[in-house]
Structure 1
Amino acid sequence: MATNSKKQRLLLALCGLNPQIITEGLYCLTVKQKINFDKIIIFTTDECKENIASNLKRELKRMSKKFKFKPPIFNEECIYSVDEEISADGKENKFAELVFKTIWELTSNDRNVLFCLLSGGRKTMSVDLATAMTLLGGEHDKMFHVLVSKEFESKRLYFPENEKDGQNIKLIEKPFIKLRNKFLQQVGKADISFSNLIENIQREIDQSFTLQPLVFVVKERKVKIGDKIIELPPFQFAVYYFFATKGRFIPGGKNFSRTNSERLWKIYKRVASSYGHLERVRKFGFQNGIFDFEVIQKAISVIRRKIRTLLNNSPIAEYYIISVEGSYGKKLYGLKLPSNYIYVKKGNKEYVASKI
């Protein structure tokens, strides 16, 4: 990393066809708060680039002269653009990659302090910039949102010409979590893509949790997660045991197979405390060898609530509840907990469920 005691303030902004958001942000920061900038950097698309360059240069010159401050460096080279936000086939987020690579380069030089304006451009662009700053932003970097009243917006001015108009523009600092120093090994790879960096960091976050084994004590219908224990009613225990020991996410709803229905019924018969329990479930939820999945779904909801309560609503509970993935009609059900953490206790011994 480059080091130098003199800091360089950079104003980063998103922009569509109208670059007023940059001069409005600059008004709040430089005119009101007396924060001067060395350079302005803009992210946009090719179709907007020419309009931004000509109009913004003119208005920056006029603004700096009126309010007597040294204008930041701004020219065509300060405008970073892509031909389209997302590729035609939808597989590549070109804008996100542009923002990520640029932020990566800027934050690799610790002289640079970034002031980012999230307003302007499309909402998806704001998400890209905010995400990049969360992953790469430095200790002194900041993000802001510019709020402009309808009264001032209707005037279509680039910046307030007087103090009264200036009251119609507000700047709100948006705090954000900074992960750069937590994942230096990943951030340090210049050739990694934005999407791959996110995947790698998410994997590290997932692995940073200390996962406890999930143990099913079948004979007692008890479930143990670390040192926490809960006893479940027969059908809830059977449903939880079934999905946990399945080892993968499986289709639910109308796609819940006869084979899975038969296996769940077999488990339930083993743990049912009485013939009455068995007949009640058979009558209302198990017809012609197929389970009514609504009955299973109700049990899943209750199990989720109990597991979350058992784990004090910790984020780690998401690994132990029966989760749902996919869209309507194609939903899959299962546990996110790796299968090697799931055990079944038989007698005095615990066995990895996937190996039984």
Structure 2
Amino acid sequence: MAPEQPHTYPRRILLAVSGLTPQIITETLYALIAQPTPFVPTEVRLITTREGAARARLALLSDDPGWFRRLCRDFRVSAITFDENHIETFSDGEGRPLDDIRTPADNTHAADRITEIVRSLTSDPQAALHVSIAGGRKTMGYYLGYALSLFGRPQDRLSHVLVSEPFESSWEFFYPTPYERIIQTRDGKLADCREAKVTLAEIPFVRLREGLPPRLLDGQASMSEVVAAAERAQHPPRLVLDLATRAAWADEIALNLSATEFALLLWLARRAQAGEPMVDWTTPAACDEFLRVAKEVFNPMSGDYERIEEALDWRRDAAIRLGEYFQPHKSRINRAFEAALGKTAARRYQIPPRGPNALPLEAERIDIR
């Protein structure tokens, strides 16, 4: 499956929001099928209001007029799953279906639900997601497009459909039929649906997924939380170390560090604060300096401190062996930053994998308590 070929994925999903015009589903389906390289969804998912859901069921899924099934028959398309279970209704904070998205609270609930749906669908590596922002209120289309920007992968796409005049906004128009079908347009004139032009306008978007922390990719999160995580890379870093509790925070997010990793991070942070960021930890002098810091973190009489001292003592005579002791801890510290902040934001804190062993932080960005 090539990322640039979404039509090759075994699971192909069309996701859309709509208000009172369920036609956007059939219009988008027609445009996807009519492309030079067709993208035929295996399933359709619609997010809408209570009234929008009722209209979609009656116009698209009923026996008559049943425009979804008609389109599938007209263009000999089979095996697209779309039924009432694939229509989700926006709800308020108490789970009651919404007739419209009007209040700030409604907008927040809708944004969070859209975020979770897109996160969940993009978690399937066998799926390619095509998102349409042609329907619904402008805020809903914005939230859906933004959610795809946050979670979208190379195989995912974003689009809008353009319908030619006089068919645009006509309740009777659902797609260009391959046979004569006369309808009355909104200005009272008659027109043949065969003559309609429906164009898929693909919308480029910035994919921010790689910069998100794994915890937000694997579990539920609000849109505001995900946006804040994506924006962290634009803010100045702030590292806080609490010696008494052996706890560390980056951007106010707790880091998962062992006591030895905390000691190593504390050592490098102090050097950065003192204007001595680089250290060659393959030398006995660096080894002694680290042990002095480790004594503050561990009880010198504890077995943990003794094990660290012994591990370093037998390596003192060989520089390469000292480096081999510190290197795995450095890697785990860097992974802890990435797990907490995501790849992009973590780079502001990470010790370079190769080169100087130092934190890339200015003294005023470090708080040691």
Q: How does 1:308-347 map to 2 (within 5 A)?
A: 340=364
CA displacement, residues 245-301 of structure 1 (integer Å, 9 cap, x when unaligned): xxxxxxxxxxxxxxxxxxxxxxxxxxxxxxxxxxxxxxxxxxxxxxxxxxxxxxxxx
1:290 maps to which residue? none
1:7 is aligned to 2:10:
yes
2:337 maps to which residue? none
**Maintained 8 Å contact 1:87/1:94:** no
Paired residues, number: 209
C-alpha change, 1:203 and 1:86, in structure 2 (3 Å) is farther
2:155 maps to which residue? 140
CA displacement, residues 63-115 of structure 1 (integer Å, 9 cap, x when unaligned): 11111111510111101111336585638611111111111111111111001
Moved more, 117-126 or 85-94: 85-94
1:107 is aligned to 2:122:
yes
TM-score (norm 1): 0.53
**Maintained 8 Å contact 1:145/1:173:** yes
C-alpha change, 1:193 and 1:155, in structure 2 (3 Å) is closer
**Maintained 8 Å contact 1:61/1:71:** no
What is the root-mean-square deviation of aligned Cα atoms in Å?
2.8
1:199 maps to which residue? 228
1:126 maps to which residue? 141
Three-state SS of the structure 2 residue aligned to 1:147 is strand
1:149 is aligned to 2:157:
no
Q: How does 1:1-356 map to 2 (within 5 A)?
A: 7-33=10-36, 34-57=38-61, 58-82=66-90, 83-84=97-98, 88=103, 90=105, 93-153=108-168, 154=170, 156-162=172-178, 165=194, 168-185=197-214, 187-207=216-236, 340=364
Shift of 1:60: 1.3
Three-state SS of the structure 2 residue aligned to 1:53 is helix
More strand by share: 1
> Could you tell me the percent identity over the aligned residues?
28
Three-state SS of the structure 1 residue aligned to 2:45 is strand
Three-state SS of the structure 1 residue aligned to 2:16 is strand
Equivalent-residue separation in structure 1 for 2:18 and 2:164 (angstroms): 19
Point out where structure 2 has 5 or more consecutive residues left out of the alignment: 1-7, 91-96, 180-192, 238-361
Shift of 1:181: 1.4
C-alpha change, 1:146 and 1:89, in structure 2 (3 Å) is closer
Point out where structure 1 has 5 or more consecutive residues left out of the alignment: 209-337, 342-356
Equivalent-residue separation in structure 2 for 1:55 and 1:155 (angstroms): 10
**Maintained 8 Å contact 1:28/1:171:** yes
**Maintained 8 Å contact 1:19/1:56:** yes
CA displacement, residues 125-171 of structure 1 (integer Å, 9 cap, x when unaligned): 01000110000011100001101122122473111114884652111
Moved more, 187-196 or 47-56: 187-196
Equivalent-residue separation in structure 2 for 1:202 and 1:186 (angstroms): 16
**Maintained 8 Å contact 1:24/1:158:** yes
C-alpha change, 1:8 and 1:203, in structure 2 (3 Å) is same
**Maintained 8 Å contact 2:164/2:196:** no
Equivalent-residue separation in structure 1 for 2:363 and 2:163 (angstroms): 53
Three-state SS of the structure 1 residue aligned to 2:15 is strand
Equivalent-residue separation in structure 2 for 1:20 and 1:120 (angstroms): 9
TM-score (norm 2): 0.52
**Maintained 8 Å contact 2:132/2:158:** yes
Three-state SS of the structure 2 residue aligned to 1:170 is strand
Shift of 1:199: 1.4
Shift of 1:59: 0.7
**Maintained 8 Å contact 1:144/1:174:** yes
**Maintained 8 Å contact 1:152/1:165:** no
